[in-house]
Structure 1
Amino acid sequence: MKRFIVSGRRALSARASPLPHRPFATAAQPDESLASLLPKMPPFDYSPPPYTGPSAAEVLQKRQRYLSPAIFHFFKNPLNLVDGKMQYLFDENGRRYLDAFGGIATVCCGHCHPEVVEAIVNQTKRLQHSTVLYLNHTVADFAEALASKMPGDLKVVYFTNSGTEANELALLMARLYTGCHDVISIRNGYHGNAAATMNATAQSNYKFNVVQAGIHHSLNPDQYRGLFGSDGPKYARDVDEIITYGTTGCVAAFIAEAIQGVGGIMELAPGYLPAVYSSIRRAGGLCIADEVQSGFGRTGSHFWGFEAHGVVPDIVTMAKGIGNGIPLGAVVTTPDIAKVLTNRTYFNTFGGNPVCTAGGLAVLKVLEKEKLQQNALTVGSYLKERLVSLMEKHEIIGDVRGRGLMLGVELVTDRKAKTPAKVEIAHLMEQMKEMGVLIGKGGFFGNVFRITPPLCFTKDDADFLVDVMDYNMSKL
């Protein structure tokens, strides 16, 4: 069902967009009758201050000259984003965009949430840097609050600067604790950009060719393309075979995301994690849950992604949304496992500094105060229903998956053959950007829309997103 609303509560207000909203990339503007049928962005009571900095062209020129050539961007003409407020972003001309992707990148509570900003600014005015060498209540308070969100005996927190650091530390701890070296990860998973985490990231091996001994990649429990469909225990047998035939029988750890983010919002098949955790623990290994993308209430039904599978890990890693955009990550484990680092010297200069932990504590308070986990469940369920209904209209949609506000839409040119629609998704992203929607993509073939907005996303935002997607798919 189309939901193209011309006026009313979803009409674009003058305050919401100080410059004309141009839905097409073409020079010619549509006539008024056509424009009236276009999806309208929900009103928003905020206008950014005028921008007086360098233009997008100037920034791009500097970027190409001075920054790493490995840095990429989604669009042919990358946006120069200069302002953000909650679920919206603004470019150099003051044009507003609905951010349907940045939530997974960094933002949990919304861009520039006033209470998070205030906590960071106030702490910066008092003290910027002081970690484990001295006492500071901000660091301890956040660790206590974070531990209170954990099940079982997961009570000891190590702070880092990123998810990559957190996963590197988790793998180190597991190897030291078990005395074993072998690590098993899932094909198509993603765990970071350092040596050990790159190697544990099976999806990226062919790109980076980082080779480390003792890393094994197990069959991906892919419910859409996988050999065994949604039968998790059948996929888990591959882990048993790796333990039996690929290792000495001594395993340090198994690491996995509950929902693969970069891998295309792929939720692991039911029954997989319980079966694998059992096998790993029989082999003397530890189970690591990578919650960098699926944690902090994003799935709606649970605070942590692993909880939906009925398991309790030995180590949990987290980052991104934990600090709402500031460099912050964490590893949480049991007191028994944590003792292993007392036999070594582990120190992180900036991990757990007062400024970042003040921001992290503010994020937890906002999540609870504004009931954002419940909002992720309510709005995410509504959004998923609308996306599923879109499948009936557009053959290009092969699968809609995920939970809460962590959703994926896989595009294919042939539903039966599941042929990846790689060219089409790039075109659609460009067109959706021109109409004011920023969306991500991922998956092994790069053909999956990643919909992971800030948790303050509303049903009106969901309608606008789906209507824009529907409109541009119709034009295909």
Structure 2
Amino acid sequence: MYDENGRQYLDCINNVAHGKLKSWSEANDLALRLARQYTKHEDVIVLDHAYHGHLTSLIDISPYKFRNLEGQKEWVHVAPVPDTYRGLYREDHEDSVTAYADEVKNIIEHAHKRGRKKQSNLFRYRHVHKAGGVFIADEIQVGFGRVGKHFWAFQLQGEDFIPDIVTMGKPIGNGHPLACVATTKEIAEAFAATGVEYFNTFGGNPVSCAIGLAVLDVIEKEHLQAHATEVGNFLMKTLKEQQIKHPIIGDVRGCGLFIGVDLIKDKAERTPATAEAEDLITRLKEKYILLSTDGPGRNVLKFKPPMCFNMEDAKFVVETIDKILSDMEKECLNQ
């Protein structure tokens, strides 16, 4: 990536090159319409801190946004993030997977007692299916081979896991504004039966479709999914080596070319090192490396680079982070 003065930056964010072009939100909005028409219910379960788009309908189901605005609607139900590092059930829990799934089950049961019904969910779909709901998989950031092991991130849940609706965007057009919603025949027919069609002025236009097909061809011909596995494994390995060296790194997690580095103030309490993370991001930018923070504490370094990100890029980023953290540690000792 280059700025207006021609200076080159190593992009580890992959979300700023075309900041004025949007399409993902429309895909998720349509997914909600499909789910509501099919189930005849309104309620939604989402993960805490989630963000699914900038439209009003999506801000309402995005805890990341609505907590700073008008608050949570009564038909929105928030499930805890299945985070075994700093979440409700951690690595020392005897069965954290079941415990997090039971949280969704309890939300459903509580809602039923209040006379409400679920329409869609973004976590444990078996409980939702049993309750008559449908599962929406938001693949906007994680799809198209980024996780390496699979083409779609939802496949990480197992071969028997099949969402009812899948939304796609961002990488599908490689910078061109393009999004897609895939669903079952039954859900599509239920939506069509209303007689109120979905219409978009530029939807399905041949130029965008050709671009989407070209992107798929490049992913296949250049073996980008396998590339994400190879480079991602290397990046994960080298970052974990830094975790041993630098106490501020509490956890390194992720899959393929989607990795988070959790910065903490102390090992016992795992207090988010928010200020330190921001300082690190600023110093990286001074070294012409673009990286961002995420998470409720804004302390998690988020690696989501372009799929062409290679071994040399990964090595350079980690070496630079190592040097900056060493400098920060020395400065702290000298204070």
TM over 0.5: yes
Residue equivalent to 2:119: 252
Give the CA deviation at 1:197: 1.2
Alignment pair present for 1:400 and 2:261: no
Shift in CA distance, 93/249, structure 1 to aligned 2, threshold 3 Å: closer
Pairing partner for 1:241 from 92, 97, 106: 106
Within 5 Å, which residues of 2 pair with 1:60-79?
none
Counterpart position of 2:291: 439
| Residue in 2 that maps onto 1:338 | 188
**AA aligned opposite 2:107:** I
Q: Is 1:383 paired with 2:248?
A: no
Report how many aligned residue pairs link the two structures.
316
Q: Which of residues 54, 75, 87 is equivalent to 1:214?
A: 75
Matches within 5 A, 1:109-124: none
Deviations 1:231-258 (A, max 9, x none): 111011121111111243632111x3xx
- CA displacement, residues 445-468 of structure 1 (integer Å, 9 cap, x when unaligned): 111111111111111110000011
- Normalised to the residue count of structure 2, the TM-score between the two structures is 0.90
Greater relative CO (CA pairs within 8 A, separation 6+): 1
| 1:198 alignment partner AA | I
Structure 1 residues not aligned, in runs of 5+: 1-88, 108-160, 257-272
For the 8 Å contact 2:25–2:55, the answer to whether it is kept is: yes
Q: Deviations for 1:130-163, whole angstroms, at most 9, x for unmatched residues?
A: xxxxxxxxxxxxxxxxxxxxxxxxxxxxxxx612
Distance in 1, matches of 2:250 and 2:17, equals: 28
Are 1:95 and 2:7 counterparts? yes
Question: 1:94 deviation in Å?
Answer: 2.2
1:324 equivalenced with 2:174 (yes/no): yes
**Displaced runs of 4+ in structure 1, greater than 4 A?**
104-107
Matched with 1:474 is 326
Conserved 8 A contact 2:63-2:72: no
Match of 1:459 in 2: 311
Identical-residue share of aligned pairs (%): 43
Distance 1:440 1:358 in 2: 32
Partner of 1:412: 264
| 2:133 aligned partner | 285
> What is the CA distance between 1:105 and its match in structure 2?
5.8
Q: Partners of 2:74 and 2:36 in 1: how far apart?
A: 13
CA–CA separation in structure 1 for the residues paired with 2:17 and 2:157: 25
Residue 203 of structure 1 corresponds to which residue in structure 2?
Answer: 64
1:213 offset after TM fit, Å? Answer: 4.0
Q: CA RMSD in A?
A: 1.7
In the TM superposition, residue 365 of structure 1 has moved relative to its aligned partner by 0.5
SS class of match (1:184)? strand
In our comparison, the structure showing a higher alpha carbon Rg is: 1
Structure 2: gaps spanning 5 or more residues:
329-335
8 Å CA contact 2:144–2:152 kept in 1: the answer is yes
1:363 aligns with 2:215: yes
| C-alpha distance 293-336 of structure 1, shift in aligned 2 (>3 A) | same
